[in-house]
A and B are shown apart, each in its own frame.
Chain A
């Protein structure tokens, strides 16, 4: 089965072709990503209207490039998938509408994919992970621990009560005058900093519910930084190191708590899977490996380019759904807000 996937929910314009083999294995045939980061850098964050304008200019070219790279034709597709949310509505509308247009022309099924579900299922594309598994979804907009029981069956075990971890990295970078996106910058600075110079809090540590809170950490970091401003290069590196160390400690404790909650409710998970842009962070990855070992499971971390937003994960989620007969009509709605747990309900509701 050959599926085209389109991703336009944030500041990446992406299109990919993915094959699902009969034995359930996945294969990426083409995966094209155009990043708009440069267009948003001056604003220190993604500007929705600028993102939407950029998507509509380049999406068809991006799809065409993916088709050429895959050496395939639209007629050869078995379906078209687009991220229909959650995310920035202007971009979603562009991607979903173009997907519908292609599906209409080639008379193939459409899948309106939940972007979070696509993150959740990526480990099945890259590592053929079996259900049920424990997902740690950690990106610019989300920080969740989820029990992935089947396609369309997700139980959220924990979430952030305020900022997402990626967002906290971005805000830290902004505060310290580093570039955008902030995660990679903060990680780079942290590598040459002294983590113990500043004592930062570890919010939620030891709580029973596997939830997160980042705002207290963010505030503590700002207060420490303001105390010693103006900042030297070493100050910035030390602050980044202290911040990242605190996040790592919180992640380790919260995810271990999440894995225990998983085991109590659903038995042993087949793996701890990490997804989302923050999963690229090496310190966080190492902590997750340790935690997985402590919980008698193993960590599955897709390669960096499949952790951040991409079209392959959308195509793959589409393939998983088409295989199960879970397709959508041409009237499918773009959705700015779309919790993972509502994916099955959305699919069942008449369009």
Chain B
């Protein structure tokens, strides 16, 4: 199976072509906080070129759907769904938290793996995985101190928010391994994408946070 994996949800703009299980035909990752909308498509063109592959040769497209930057994850999803539509190939969504945890679970970690993404305002997007990828705590938005409590038995904390948990770790408690990464590995996204069920994994944003909006009732005059 040949997969195009795309990630623009966090601190990178990245894409790769992977022949499953693990042959990387081409990949490129550029660290960036903003500007994914401009950078992604030229990057994709380069990666396709380098892999010497056409869109018709792909079996599916995998893209990270968040949690992450709202704008960033929409760039990746719009790209993936656009490619899927025009090339007539299936697209699947992959959670950034699962992609962070993936390599540890594949390596056979038996204790909990915690994935955390910075959500600002003293919060993190957070998920806990058990052996074999069993989900112990479903993805959610939590206060840093609650995440720290829920992560106490972890073997490793991974993700762009790992450092935030480490910084808030209580003195005297043994600290799990900390693996701060700005973005998940493309190979991990591809692996989860290959395993996803195309019928049920249409890429849709996983925001985990409501839009910031309040109904307006200002200025309105009373009616008789």
A residues 61-101 in Cβ contact with B at 8 Å: 63-64, 74, 89-90, 93-101
Contacts of B222 in A (CB 8 A): 229-231
Interface contact A331-B39, CB-CB below 8 Å: yes
- Of A49, A50, A64, the most chain B CB neighbours within 10 A belong to A49
Known: A56-B74, A56-B77, A332-B38. A104 touches B44 (CB 8 A): yes
Mark the stretch among A145-153, A173-181, A199-207, A252-260 that contacts chain B: A173-181
Interface contact A177-B224, CB-CB below 8 Å: no
Contact with B along A196-236 (1 / 0, CB 8 A): 00000000000000000000000000100110011111011
* Chain A interface mostly: helix
Q: Which A residue's beta carbon lies closest to that of B79?
A: A101
A281 interface residue (CB < 8 Å to B)? no
Give the distance to chain A from B192, nearest Cβ to Cβ, in Å: 21
Pick from A44, A104, A176: contact of B45, CB below 8 A. A104
Mark the stretch among B124-132, B140-148, B171-179, B213-221 that contacts chain A: B213-221
B residues 198-224 in Cβ contact with A at 8 Å: 204-205, 207, 211-224
Interface contact A49-B55, CB-CB below 8 Å: no
Give the distance to chain B from A260, nearest Cβ to Cβ, in Å: 37
B107 interface residue (CB < 8 Å to A)? no
Q: How far apart sit A231 and B218, CA to CA, in the bound complex (Å)?
A: 16
A105 interface residue (CB < 8 Å to B)? yes
Contacts of A53 in B (CB 8 A): 205, 207, 211
Contacts of A176 in B (CB 8 A): 220-221
- Of B40, B41, B71, B214, the most chain A CB neighbours within 10 A belong to B41
Contact with A along B78-104 (1 / 0, CB 8 A): 111111111100000000000000000
Known: A49-B70, A230-B221, A231-B224. A100 touches B213 (CB 8 A): no
Interface contact A331-B221, CB-CB below 8 Å: no
B117 interface residue (CB < 8 Å to A)? no
Interface contact B82-A99, CB-CB below 8 Å: yes
A106 interface residue (CB < 8 Å to B)? yes
Interface contact A230-B211, CB-CB below 8 Å: no
A160 interface residue (CB < 8 Å to B)? no
A47 interface residue (CB < 8 Å to B)? yes
Interface contact B213-A93, CB-CB below 8 Å: no
Known: A44-B215, A175-B220, A332-B38. A52 touches B74 (CB 8 A): yes
A26 interface residue (CB < 8 Å to B)? no
- Of B211, B218, B221, the most chain A CB neighbours within 10 A belong to B221
Q: How far apart sit A270 and B1, CA to CA, in the bound complex (Å)?
A: 59
Q: How large is the interface on A (under 10, 10 to 19, 20 to 34, 35 or more residues)?
A: 35 or more
Interface contact A101-B82, CB-CB below 8 Å: yes
Q: How far apart sit A60 and B101, CA to CA, in the bound complex (Å)?
A: 30
Pick from B42, B75, B84, B214: contact of A60, CB below 8 A. B84
Q: How far apart sit A98 and B80, CA to CA, in the bound complex (Å)?
A: 8
Q: How far apart sit A198 and B37, CA to CA, in the bound complex (Å)?
A: 50
Interface contact A330-B42, CB-CB below 8 Å: yes
Known: A44-B216, A56-B77, A93-B71. A102 touches B41 (CB 8 A): no
A132 interface residue (CB < 8 Å to B)? no
A59 interface residue (CB < 8 Å to B)? yes
Interface contact A90-B74, CB-CB below 8 Å: yes
Interface contact B215-A42, CB-CB below 8 Å: yes
Interface contact B224-A230, CB-CB below 8 Å: yes
Q: Which A residue's beta carbon lies closest to that of B80?
A: A101
A158 interface residue (CB < 8 Å to B)? no
Known: A53-B207, A97-B79. A331 touches B42 (CB 8 A): yes
Contact with B along A26-68 (1 / 0, CB 8 A): 0000000000000000111101011011001101100110000
Pick from A59, A105, A236: contact of B55, CB below 8 A. A105
- Of B81, B86, B215, the most chain A CB neighbours within 10 A belong to B86
Q: How far apart sit A59 and B81, CA to CA, in the bound complex (Å)?
A: 9
B residues 114-154 in Cβ contact with A at 8 Å: none
Interface contact A102-B85, CB-CB below 8 Å: yes
Q: How far apart sit A236 and B221, CA to CA, in the bound complex (Å)?
A: 10
A333 interface residue (CB < 8 Å to B)? yes
Interface contact B37-A96, CB-CB below 8 Å: yes
Give the distance to chain A from B161, nearest Cβ to Cβ, in Å: 22
A183 interface residue (CB < 8 Å to B)? no
Q: How far apart sit A96 and B36, CA to CA, in the bound complex (Å)?
A: 12
Known contacts A93-B75, A97-B37, A330-B42; 10 additional CB pairs below 8 A are: A43-B214, A49-B70, A52-B71, A60-B84, A93-B74, A100-B82, A101-B86, A222-B219, A230-B221, A331-B38
Could you write out 7 A-B pairs with CB less than 8 Å apart? A50-B211, A93-B75, A97-B78, A98-B82, A101-B86, A175-B220, A230-B223
